[in-house]
Structure 1
Amino acid sequence: MKTGDEESSGAGGNGRSSTPGRPSRSRTQHSEPASSTPTEELAFDTRGGEYREPKALRVQREGIEELTVRLYPDRSYVFGRAPECTVVFPHDAVSRQHGRLAFREDHRWVYRDLNSRNGSYLGREEEQGLLDPRLHFQRVGPSRDWVLEVGDVVLLGNGKSRVTLLAEVPPELVAGARAKRDASPATVQLERSIERCARHHLPVFLRGDSGTGKTFIAREIHSRSGLEGNFVILNCGRLPQDPAALQSELLGHVKGAYTGASIARVGKLYSANGGTLFLDEVEFLPRLAQDFLVDVLEGSGSLAPLGAPADFREPPPRFRLISASKAPLRQTDLRPDLAQRLAAGDFIILPTLEERREDIPNLVETFLHRLKVEQQYDAELTREAIEFLREASWPGQIRELESTVRTVVAREVAHQELEGLAPYRTLVTLEAVKSYLEQRELGFGGTSSAPTKKRTTQPSVESVAAVRKRPGDLTEQDIRGALEKHQGNKTRAAQELGIALNTLKARMKALGVE
């Protein structure tokens, strides 16, 4: 990391030698979950050589447009048929939760089959056969981690659903989400701040309410900065209080450092080498961790992993430092010298959702697009529903808005399935949004959500009347009345009833309406 005109993170260098603190990146298979205590060891891949870490996934699903997903080491990716999976494969040959991809503590991506019915198959991209690719692949057993690298392919079920690990992130994903032309002034200013910070490597301090997107902004700065290393998140509120455990978390440990340490672990600081270390919720950093971090940043502390020999020598890590807090630095319990370190660069104050209400329609559009490509939910919200969301109160900020959109869409899809309607495009009405938010507020023990200010536009009487009934409650009389009113125009009749055109056609067929 760089602070002011000096470059320091406790020292410098991008060394990647095979030392007790940085295990060699040969391809070795272990049979423990990515985030659990290591257990037995199993040999899987004997190709050896330098480990080639994937940065993205190419997802291929039968009858669906190809999808590219960026990989983040702090996330896990569940593949399956269930809507709650990270990437949904709507094919009967794929189990509801088929397999999981995760970044293990030894700095490798690993795949685990989740006891799927039709199995998972692992091979190389160049080994795929013309007929059944499974003939050239190895079936992987469940309850084991299988180390994956660039060029590996995982087949799910019948082989028509697959994920391929890629060496590079596509340019359109690297670019990130730029502010749209109709974005609010606050968002335009935020975008300029991100671009500015991406063009220097000084520390950055992000201040914003919970849910305003601090982690997203930190990722954007990292991805646009062109750094080759990882983006590593250190949740300061969850760091261990025990000195040995803290050393293992930050600097790693060698194999055999303690009972159960069957593999070496790369610490957070070394994982961020050549990349970005993001200190999330830095205001909750324990005093012991503060002392430790200051020593490391000033170059006066030991950088040896837990259990390393006395003659340990490893080039110290260099990383870009980004920190985030809900509170101003002077209102935290951070050591003054550490606060000065965090403040020795750029600042970004994140706007609240109330300060950028104009962006809510764009945000809703983004959330709906994400639901469509990842979970195969094809949905839209009515104009009245979006306007209501724009004026509602959002104490949980963007996180709460996204959760609301995801939930109301999932609820409406479930209602369609209960009514036996074909999975056409789902239209989420104002009534559906209000119903969910009212139930949510009652769950919190408060009153129903209401707009925070007078609405600038009022829905017409016809629009309000159109959302009185759910699709399954519409009678033959309702449908015939709407069709007669609009002289047989099904598109306008559907708008009158507050449902999608395909839903209207399905209901007409069910009721025998010609």
Structure 2
Amino acid sequence: MTRETEAKAGEEEEGHNGPSLNRTTTIPLPPSIQEPPASPTPTRRERIPRELLASVDAEPYREPKALRVHREGVPDLIVPLYPDRSYVFGRAPESTVVFPHDAVSRQHGRLSFREDHRWVYRDLNSRNHSFLGKVELPFEGDEREYFQAMSASQDWVVEPGNIILLGNGRSRITLLAEVPAGMVAGPRPRVGGSVAAVQLERSINICARHQLPVFILGRSGTGKTFIAREIHSRSRLDGNFVILNCGRLPQDASMLHSDLLGHVKGAFTGAAFSRVGKFYVANGGTLFLDEVEFLPPAAQDFLVDILEGTGSLAPLGASPDSREPPPRFRLISASKTPLQQTRLRPDLAQRLATGDVIVLPALEERREDIPNLVETFLHRLKTEQQYDAEFTSDAIAYLQQVDWPGEIRELEATVKAVVAREVAARAIDGVGSSRMMITLEAVKVYLSQRRMGFGASVAAPPARHSMALPAVRKRPGDLSEQEVRDAFDKHGGTKTRAAQELGIALNTFKGLMKKFGIE
């Protein structure tokens, strides 16, 4: 299995398709604001009116599939858009995409998929505001003068071709109609890997070349959602990838009907607009039933009716004689439990496993893939959050030896946490943003604290795999310049870590650096 396939396996088990590098379509301005021939560049007074930016009801809504993120000083980033996720943009490290520019607020704006199946952007009360445009013209001066200021705490419907400025033109997002093949940022796939990974990669490619149902069996954290999404992406289907988390469906019959088959405006109190059910949103695409073992009996009946093309498929509140044609979609389901051990209707369970069955290997079975996975996670941190980090070889070897009860998801969370802690330590020490070297000690400290937080005993890997480093325990006055310099370089310029390895206080270490003239 390639690293590109596994890039999001850990985080997407709970369920980040994205910007294209295709050129944004230029939308001609109406005659009332077109430039005269003698003046090709618009002036300030010719700001694009809001009505030109808004969606026109007479035209069908066009759903963006990707983002192109432009940040000053770094390559453009391609981010796939998934309806089951929201995307936060800002300077804060926890943002989906981090913009390091000072004009961007810590949490500047959020892009999400609304219940009426439109992508909406909301400014999160940013200091310098967000601005919406729909054309790319050679504006003179500040582009914000020609874009529409987006009022905060209000949803703005966006479509392919829209451009959002975050604070100013140096930080921007472009909505794109498609995700071009091979354009999503990520490290180049590495040939090889464990036998289990190679077999999994082959299974994904086989499933992508037929339209039979697929059932995915695997532990929590092994990447079932991402594997389903990867099958859909490689199938090149025109429709959406729709996730239905069967464990979170409403118990109320009316709400369940609305969720799966939709409702008409006014069907119940609070139904301010019509809603398309998830079964129909998946029409022409893929319906992914996550945690299918928890699918309620009423939902099982709905699903069997759709698969058989029988029963009433009308949205909630529609006239009694209304009948919608059954939606057609690729069906992928996933569970932690074998189908025979679930409470699913036998005929439905048979349908789910009619085509392919993929059994995801545990991380225990493919420890040799851990270095590739870590590199993939680090690459994502670099492109999305501007964290440039590398794990030492002994730290990687240690990660290959410890147990991962949370599977790939836990491994990825560990990589993110250790890097974030290192960034924070560097900020305290006043160290610059040069490439960070994540040491074995940093990994051990984090995992030890994590295990204690869970109330588990801190057990080291088997002795034959022990990677413990001998601690230097000299008196500060006996430390040589070379020992101080080696510790400083080994930890990427982090004084705190270097001092810990030498067994001396941080201020003592700083004094030795000054004494030896180490910058």
TM-score, normalization: structure 2? 0.82
Distance in 2, Cα, partners of 1:424 & 1:479: 25
1:389 pairs with 2:390? no
Listed as ranges, the matches of 1:192-211 within 5 Å are 192-211=202-221
Q: How far did 1:341 drift?
A: 1.0
Q: Is the 8 A contact 1:179 1:188 kept in 2?
A: no
Q: Which residue in 2 is equivalent to 1:481?
A: 482
Report how many residues are paired.
Answer: 454
Q: Which residue in 2 is equivalent to 1:84?
A: 94
Q: Which residue in 2 is equivalent to 1:500?
A: 492
Q: How far did 1:64 drift?
A: 1.6
Distance in 1, Cα, partners of 2:295 & 2:476: 60
- Whichever residue aligns with residue 492 of structure 2, its letter is A
Q: Which residue in 1 is equivalent to 2:514?
A: 511
Q: Is the 8 A contact 1:174 1:224 kept in 2?
A: no
Distance in 1, Cα, partners of 2:212 & 2:427: 52
1:253 pairs with 2:232? no
Map Cα deviations across residues 424-451 of structure 1 (whole Å, 9 max, x no partner): 2222111111111111111111111532
Question: Aligned to 1:138, which of 144, 148, 155?
Answer: 148
Q: Is the 8 A contact 2:312 2:323 kept in 1?
A: no
Distance in 1, Cα, partners of 2:185 & 2:132: 31
1:423 pairs with 2:433? yes
Question: Aligned to 2:54, which of 45, 51, 57?
Answer: 45
Segment of structure 1 superposing worse, 175-184 or 84-93: 175-184
The SS at the match of 1:365 is helix
TM-score, normalization: structure 1? 0.83
Question: Aligned to 1:95, which of 78, 99, 105?
Answer: 105
Q: Which residue in 2 is equivalent to 1:191?
A: 201
Question: Aligned to 1:294, which of 283, 304, 324?
Answer: 304
Q: How far did 1:158 drift?
A: 2.0
1:244 pairs with 2:254? yes
Q: Which residue in 1 is equivalent to 2:502?
A: none
- Whichever residue aligns with residue 435 of structure 2, its letter is R
Q: How far did 1:381 drift?
A: 1.0
Change beyond 3 A, Cα 1:498–1:164: same
Distance in 2, Cα, partners of 1:64 & 1:138: 26
Listed as ranges, the matches of 1:144-163 within 5 Å are 144-163=154-173
Segment of structure 1 superposing worse, 287-296 or 232-241: 287-296
Q: Is the 8 A contact 1:296 1:302 kept in 2?
A: no
Change beyond 3 A, Cα 1:508–1:252: farther
Map Cα deviations across residues 98-128 of structure 1 (whole Å, 9 max, x no partner): 0000111211111000010100000114246
Distance in 2, Cα, partners of 1:318 & 1:311: 22
Q: Is the 8 A contact 1:252 1:267 kept in 2?
A: yes
1:280 pairs with 2:290? yes
Q: Is the 8 A contact 2:116 2:275 kept in 1?
A: yes
Q: Which residue in 2 is equivalent to 1:327?
A: 337
The SS at the match of 1:307 is coil
Map Cα deviations across residues 61-119 of structure 1 (whole Å, 9 max, x no partner): 11122111111111110000000000000111100000000111211111000010100
Q: Which residue in 2 is equivalent to 1:377?
A: 387
- Whichever residue aligns with residue 45 of structure 1, its letter is A
Question: Aligned to 2:71, which of 41, 56, 61?
Answer: 61
Listed as ranges, the matches of 1:438-453 within 5 Å are 438-451=448-461, 453=462
Let me know the Cα RMSD of the aligned residues: 2.7
Q: Is the 8 A contact 2:258 2:277 kept in 1?
A: yes
Structure 2: runs of 5 or more not aligned: 1-49, 499-508
Q: State the identity as a percent.
A: 65
Structure 1: runs of 5 or more not aligned: 1-41, 484-489
Q: Is the 8 A contact 1:241 1:288 kept in 2?
A: no
Q: How far did 1:179 drift?
A: 6.0
Change beyond 3 A, Cα 1:175–1:58: closer
The SS at the match of 1:139 is strand
Change beyond 3 A, Cα 1:195–1:476: farther
Q: How far did 1:315 drift?
A: 2.8
1:219 pairs with 2:229? yes
Q: Is the 8 A contact 2:77 2:185 kept in 1?
A: no
Q: Which residue in 2 is equivalent to 1:22?
A: none
Distance in 1, Cα, partners of 2:295 & 2:179: 32
The SS at the match of 2:312 is coil
Q: Is the 8 A contact 2:258 2:316 kept in 1?
A: yes
Q: Which residue in 1 is equivalent to 2:445?
A: 435
Q: How far did 1:229 drift?
A: 0.5
1:366 pairs with 2:369? no
Map Cα deviations across residues 319-358 of structure 1 (whole Å, 9 max, x no partner): 0000000011111111101101101111100000000000
Q: Is the 8 A contact 1:179 1:187 kept in 2?
A: no
1:234 pairs with 2:235? no
Q: Is the 8 A contact 2:77 2:184 kept in 1?
A: no
Change beyond 3 A, Cα 1:480–1:148: same
Map Cα deviations across residues 157-200 of structure 1 (whole Å, 9 max, x no partner): 12210000111112115799886323101000000000000000
Distance in 1, Cα, partners of 2:63 & 2:144: 24
Q: Which residue in 2 is equivalent to 1:9?
A: none
Distance in 2, Cα, partners of 1:331 & 1:368: 38
Q: How far did 1:278 drift?
A: 0.2
Distance in 1, Cα, partners of 2:261 & 2:186: 31
Segment of structure 1 superposing worse, 101-110 or 421-430: 421-430
Listed as ranges, the matches of 1:6-25 within 5 Å are none
Q: How far did 1:390 drift?
A: 0.6
Distance in 1, Cα, partners of 2:300 & 2:268: 24
Segment of structure 1 superposing worse, 286-295 or 317-326: 286-295
Change beyond 3 A, Cα 1:174–1:416: closer
Change beyond 3 A, Cα 1:479–1:395: farther
- Whichever residue aligns with residue 499 of structure 1, its letter is H
Q: Which residue in 2 is equivalent to 1:165?
A: 175
1:309 pairs with 2:334? no
Distance in 2, Cα, partners of 1:509 & 1:274: 67
Question: Aligned to 2:278, which of 261, 268, 271?
Answer: 268
The SS at the match of 2:210 is coil
Distance in 2, Cα, partners of 1:46 & 1:429: 52
Q: Is the 8 A contact 1:155 1:162 kept in 2?
A: yes
Change beyond 3 A, Cα 1:362–1:478: farther
Distance in 1, Cα, partners of 2:282 & 2:118: 14
Distance in 1, Cα, partners of 2:398 & 2:241: 37
Q: How far did 1:313 drift?
A: 4.2
Distance in 2, Cα, partners of 1:427 & 1:175: 23
Distance in 1, Cα, partners of 2:249 & 2:366: 34
